């Protein structure tokens, strides 16, 4: 289950001096406001992602650095706000000044092949700081390039495409829309197949603002830096859940819950084990924040919208109830909270941002998961074919380590397609998590065997 924690792989990267890539044609100057969903404190961080590509004989003689740099310049003609700089107005309202200054781009070469990575093509990646160099003074939210891209050639003829995105400007779906446009331009398209739409005012607060829903995800329960998780000695480990593990976990649920989504199932399972491993007090409030995509089921957002269109509804309980009840308890909490996200709910979040000063979501006792398995990161083809990995470059995201994780599509050495869940926890908690995970799965398999031996007796909800 645990497929990686650290790697001994070490390699050197020779980088050219970072340069600015500007739009290939003149673009409009002006100011564009972000939405009240975009500019909340929770999204004021840099999100790193990476794609690994194999050598493709069809592309022999074509340099991925030159191809991608030109495609980026052409794509920025359509996505010209990305070539601007972020500013902050009254009430901490964010806006983009469309200056056309460009994005940061790094050309690099690494003395390593894809084979050297072996089965480590998932977070945490070895030498990630080499594959996505943190250019000094470039990673602030305001007055810095909104994107940093590094294309690194590998000795085997493959390459990596690593990108750092200012999350206030776009979410996962919007980001994929942008790099898909780069991929289309790299393959010779004159324009992106989906034209970008700004229209951030669609997710702005009412005038006057007045939130109408309960938002447990923003409850003020303490300093966001003062979580009960020690940030010392943090360990990153990725866990692979293949068809066998997912099926085993699902069959332990009561019959009426077995049709829950894989996201609901794994979210409940990992949330529960993570809470146990962190040894919270039984009376401590804990939250599960699921990232809900507002493009699904909401008629107000047009095709091509690439801003943050998401909400963080929170399932709320205590550590004692979560860990002592069967797994179905957590599944039902998550299923219920997802149904709360209506258009009224989203407008209420935007209003809350204005009224409460754009707060960070509640960090104390929280666990946030973003499902990236269906947004198309693994299908971005610059001409060399689909990546052998496309997704987050780190095991978590945000300003607080260990608070947020992802579900990532992954194929293991056996060719099994499943989901990788990267986690970041203190070392002692991670040890407990691994032990508890193995124990729970073993007991689940034993229960299934016992059930089969009793000719179809209902499986008890022991997880």
- Active-site positions read 167, 381
Q: Please provide the distance, in angstroms rounded to a whole number, between the alpha carbons at the two ends of the chain.
A: 17
Among residues 241, 247, 157, 225, which one has the least CA distance to residue 444? Answer: 247
| Distance between CA atoms of residues 436 and 247, nearest Å | 18
Q: Identify the residue whose tokens are 């740099």.
A: 69
CA distance 278 to 346: 32
Rounded-to-integer distance, Cα 272 and Cα 323, Å: 6
How far apart are alpha carbons 98 and 82 in whole angstroms?
A: 8
Residue 33: its H or E element: strand 30-33
Q: Which tokens in the block code for residue 243?
A: 């068809």
What CA–CA distances, in Å, run from 72 to 83, 186, 253, 423, 436? 10, 8, 48, 32, 46
Contact 92, 38 (CB under 8 A): no
Q: What single string gives the DSSP state of each residue in 87-117? A: EE-GGG-EEEEE----EEEEEEEES--HHHH
Quote the strand ranges of 154-262, DSSP E. Answer: 159-166, 234-241
CA–CA separation, 160 vs 109, rounded Å?
10
Would you say 168 and 86 are in contact if contact means Cβ atoms under 8 Å apart?
yes
Residues 6+ apart with CB under 8 A from 134: none
């Amino acid at each position: 289950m645990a497929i990686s924690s650290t790697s001994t792989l070490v390699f050197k990267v020779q980088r050219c001096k970072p340069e600015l890539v500007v739009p290939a044609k003149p673009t409009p100057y002006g100011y564009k406001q972000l939405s009240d969903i975009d500019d909340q404190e929770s999204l004021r961080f840099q999100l790193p992602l990476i794609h690994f590509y194999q050598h493709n004989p069809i592309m022999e003689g074509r340099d991925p650095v030159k191809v991608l740099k030109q495609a980026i310049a052409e794509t920025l003609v359509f996505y010209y706000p990305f070539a601007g700089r972020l500013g902050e107005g009254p009430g901490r309202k964010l806006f983009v000044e469309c200056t056309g200054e460009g994005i940061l781009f790094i050309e690099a070469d690494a003395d390593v092949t894809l084979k050297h990575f072996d089965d480590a093509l998932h977070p945490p990646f070895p030498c990630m700081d080499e594959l996505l160099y943190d250019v000094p003074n470039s990673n602030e939210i305001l007055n810095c390039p909104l994107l940093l891209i590094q294309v690194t050639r590998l000795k085997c003829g493959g390459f990596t495409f690593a990108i750092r995105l200012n999350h206030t400007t776009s979410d996962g779906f919007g980001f994929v829309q942008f790099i898909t446009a780069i991929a289309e331009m790299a393959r010779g398209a004159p324009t992106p197949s989906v034209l970008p739409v700004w229209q951030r005012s669609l997710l702005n607060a009412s005038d006057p603002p007045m939130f109408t829903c309960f938002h447990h995800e923003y409850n003020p329960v303490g300093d966001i830096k003062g979580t009960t998780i020690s940030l010392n000695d943090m360990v990153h480990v990725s866990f692979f859940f293949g068809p066998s593990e997912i099926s085993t976990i699902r069959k332990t649920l009561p019959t009426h819950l077995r049709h829950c989504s894989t996201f609901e199932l794994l979210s409940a399972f990992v949330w529960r084990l993570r809470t146990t491993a962190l040894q919270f007090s039984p009376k401590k409030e804990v939250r599960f924040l699921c990232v809900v995509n507002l493009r699904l089921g909401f008629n107000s957002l047009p095709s091509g919208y690439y801003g943050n269109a998401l909400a963080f509804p929170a399932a709320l309980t205590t550590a004692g109830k979560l860990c002592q009840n069967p797994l179905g308890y957590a599944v039902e909490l998550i299923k219920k909270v997802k149904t709360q996200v209506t258009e009224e709910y989203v407008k209420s979040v935007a209003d809350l941002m204005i009224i409460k000063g754009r707060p960070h979501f509640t960090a104390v006792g929280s666990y946030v998961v973003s499902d990236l398995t269906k947004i198309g990161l693994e299908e971005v083809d610059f001409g060399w074919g689909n990546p052998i990995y496309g997704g987050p470059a780190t095991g978590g995201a945000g300003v607080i380590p260990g608070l947020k994780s992802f579900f990532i599509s992954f194929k293991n050495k056996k060719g099994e397609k499943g989901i990788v869940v990267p986690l970041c926890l203190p070392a002692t908690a991670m040890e407990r998590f691994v032990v508890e995970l193995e124990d729970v799965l073993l007991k689940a398999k034993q229960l299934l065997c016992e059930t089969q031996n009793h000719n179809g007796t209902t499986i008890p909800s022991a997880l």
